[in-house]
Structure 1
């Protein structure tokens, strides 16, 4: 008589992915499975490492600092929240710029055509109250 041994979690996950449906507590969970290049992804930039990074323009002038990364509930495109001007957190101006407008050049975050003045002219971003 064979004993019943539960299959490993990895096996269950593979079976769920190949069937196209994941189940959570018995309820089907639709997913959009995509092939992900894990090696390429692992060389990317983690949000925890981006936070606090200096932001430069094309001429390598420091124009601000990345304060946060945000996505809205209705729009999956991330935005970088930049802190511009001020000193030691006093008098800073926060602005939101679409992530896809930024460039990473030689491991340096850049907003190529921006200046401190052009960023300060943008509407101020304010965090929603908790």
Structure 2
């Protein structure tokens, strides 16, 4: 049986009984977490999580990098499958070097890409060496 751990902030973490760590996390526990690479270089921090409303899965983490107090920062959509959770250090790990990350397809906070566009999604996944793209969400009724 899984145990439920509640923090003083009211966040919920579900922990596997063998102590393997969080299997389910509230999105709020990840927003603001650092993203680093395997050599401990900090790449940015989680700004948003983009969900597929059909499957219920996380498609992308929007990682913010550069700038100061959100001014001049660049945003990157990183496929969720490219990230590894490092729970003990409260961060996510992306297996790319700093220069490759800085040259990744990015966007401005005022001009987000159409993340449901399959061509865009294929390009982003390919950049991070991933195959396949999750099905796009269904259109909502007007």
What range is the shorter-chain TM-score in?
0.5 to 0.7
Q: Aligned-pair distance for 1:84? A: 1.4
Q: Distance in 2 between matches of 1:68 and 1:116?
A: 21
Q: Aligned-pair distance for 1:93? A: 0.9
Query: Which protein is bigger by CA-based radius of gyration?
Result: 1
Structure-2 residue corresponding to 1:65: 45
For structure 2, the 5+ residue unaligned runs are 5-12, 16-21, 115-142
Number of residue-to-residue matches in the alignment = 92
TM normalised by structure 2 equals 0.53
1:55 is aligned to 2:35: yes
Deviation track 1:26-54 (CA, whole Å, cap 9, x = no partner) reads xxxxxxxxxxx643861333211110111
For structure 1, the 5+ residue unaligned runs are 1-36
Tell me which protein shows more helix as a share of its residues: 1
1:118 is aligned to 2:100: yes
Q: Distance in 2 between matches of 1:73 and 1:64?
A: 26
Q: Distance in 2 between matches of 1:127 and 1:113?
A: 23
TM normalised by structure 1 equals 0.57
